[in-house]
Amino acid sequence: MEFSGSHRISAPRAAVWAALDDPELMKACIPGCTRLERAGDGAFDGSADAKIGPVRAAFTGSVTRTEAAAPERFTLLADGDAGPSGSGQGRADVTLAEDGDGTVVSYDAQVEVAGKIGQLGSRLVTGFARKNAESFFEALATRLSAGYAAAPVIEAPAAETPEPAPLAQPPLAEAPPLVHEEPADGQTATVDAPPLAFGSAPIAPTAVPAVPDPVAIAAEETASPGSSSASAVTRIMLVAAIVVVVGCLVYYILWQQTPV
């Protein structure tokens, strides 16, 4: 049975070549693979579970890479045994071609099976082998594309917007000069004060300032220690003059008011 195919992987050819020689990566990409270990230069031992039509089988075997011309081409030789379910052998010629920033992997394979698996017919076996090959390359392409995807663009932090400067306060307008207004012609109307409400508190009489007693002042000045006799006599005469003047005024007022 023969089948072929190709798949594009978004990764450099050298990276794809190295991935096809990595047992851990290939184990993660081969459908149903439970073990894959390096057994020598370009040789691997492993096991895988598979279900081909109604037959479920557990294969153990080896894969050897020969006729390698890095990083352009190589050949895979596979030999597997599934016990009572059958056995199989295969060969695949693999080429790697650069395609822009990616790599196109092409393969031409021939497979021979025996036992119960061989009795299923070439069409069913070929379909199973093609499907597994496509699943393998899709998984490989996904892993390599993720590793070689363009680095995300890191946007520069936005510049901080400076706070707007406070608006300058407009200068205070000067008050207009006071204008002298002439009073209107005619007598200004007099506004009567409102009458006092009933029950309002009476207005307290205006306190009359107390008039000092001249005699007491003279006696206090005379009794004060340290005052000179001349100063005391002068003050007594001044007080006496004030008393005479006040007496004359009182007499004059009373005499003017007495009827003739």
Architecture category of domain 2-147 in CATH:
2-Layer Sandwich (3.30)
d(CA 21, CA 47): 17
Supply the pLDDT for residue 241: 79
Q: What is the pTM of this model?
A: 0.55
Strand partners, 98: 103
Is the pLDDT score of 106 beyond 80?
yes
Domain residue ranges in the chain: 2-147, 214-257
Is the pLDDT score of 223 beyond 60?
no
3-state class percentages of the chain: helix first, strand second, coil last, to nearest 5: 35, 30, 40
Whole-number Cα distances in Å, 227 to 76, 187, 215, 221: 144, 61, 17, 7
- Provide the terminal-to-terminal Cα distance of the chain, rounded to the nearest Å: 173
Better-predicted residue by pLDDT, 187 or 128: 128
Cβ distance 135 to 32 under 8 Å? Answer: no
Apex CA 186: angle with CA 180 and CA 191, to 5°? 90
DSSP 168-218: PPPPPPPPPPP-PPPPPSSPPPPPPPPPPPTTPPPPPPPPPPPPPPHHHHH
d(CA 260, CA 254): 12
3-state secondary structure 49-72: EEEECCEEEEEEEEEEEEEEECCC
Burial class (CB in 10 A: 0-12, 13-18, 19+), 88: buried
Task: Tell which residue, 93, 45, 46, 42, has the closest CA to residue 65.
Answer: 42
- What are the tens digits of pLDDT across the range 111-144? 999 999 989 888 888 899 899 999 999 999 999 9
Mean pLDDT of 50-58: 91
Mean per-residue pLDDT over the chain, rounded = 76
Q: How many CA atoms lie within 13 A of 89 on its CB side?
A: 1
Task: Tell which residue, 3, 14, 6, 11, has the closest CA to residue 137.
Answer: 6
Q: How many CB atoms lie within 10 A of CB 122?
A: 13
